[in-house]
Chain A
Amino acid sequence: ELKVEQNPLFLSMQEGKNYTIYCNYSTTSDRLYWYRQDPGKSLESLFVLLSNGAVKQEGRLMASLDTKARLSTLHITAAVHDLSATYFCAVPPFFYNNAGNMLTFGGGTRLMVKP
């Protein structure tokens, strides 16, 4: 059974600081997704990581994937208040047949960026 763990679950940081959110998963997968959720809102796709060593950057966020270590990181550079949200990583199954792309989500990291 695929399990996905994120840490930390809660992160309070000052504006301008850097930090990394970690996402570990328990079984083989070759792709990983990061989503952002604002309070009372739905999930917004941030990154799709499709292979080992994949790195993607958007503004102050950078995500990477190490499929051998079963680890993804979401790095925040010089945080600003607008980044305050909950961040989820999600992993699909790694089947060889035509199975679905249903996602197993981590528990989420609630990020608060304080001025």
Chain B
Amino acid sequence: GAGVSQSPSNKVTEKGKDVELRCDPISGHTALYWYRQSLGQGLEFLIYFQGNSAPDKSGLPSDRFSAERTGGSVSTLTIQRTQQEDSAVYLCASSLRGTTKSNQPQHFGDGTRLSIL
């Protein structure tokens, strides 16, 4: 499989619990992005990683959200003390280069559908 891989594909959890979502980007892609897709808000940017640089966290909606990327490859998005408004599909994307003048499209994974009860 050469695409972006995300796990789990579905996650149901109780309000107040912590969740971890995983993304395995396409091999060789240095840029990695997290977005979320919800009915009310559409598709929103969350966080961006480029190589070993400090991530751009400007899209994270609250301090309950955090993400890390280990070894420049796999990324984990963590949501602490989940709330019902966190219910959404969380999408990960990767591209060859992430800088503004890149002409590369972002390749998206199938997403994790998160439901908070």
Contacts and interface: CB of A to CB of B under 8 A. Distances in A.
Instruction: Tell me the dominant secondary structure on chain B's binding face.
Output: strand
Interface string B25-49: 0000001010100000011110010
Contacts of A7: none
A13 to B, nearest CB: 23
Interface stretch (A16-24, A71-79, A91-99): A91-99
B70 interface: no
Contact of A31 (B42, B45, B91, B103): B103
Most buried by B among A48, A93, A94: A48
A41 B6 CA distance: 13
A31 B102 CA distance: 9
A100 B107 contact: no
Contacts, number: 70
B42 A93 contact: no
Nearest to B92: A42
Q: How big is the A interface, by class?
A: 20 to 34
A9 to B, nearest CB: 11
Contact of A100 (B42, B99, B103, B105): B99
A94 B105 contact: no
Contacts of A105: 42-44
B105 A98 contact: no
Nearest to B50: A100
Contacts of A25: none
B87 interface: no
B95 A101 contact: yes
Nearest to B34: A102
5 contacts: A33-B106, A45-B105, A100-B31, A103-B35, A103-B45
Given A48-B105, A88-B43, A104-B45, 6 more contacts: A31-B103, A95-B100, A100-B31, A100-B100, A102-B33, A105-B43
Interface of A: 31, 33, 35, 41-45, 48, 50, 88, 90, 92-108
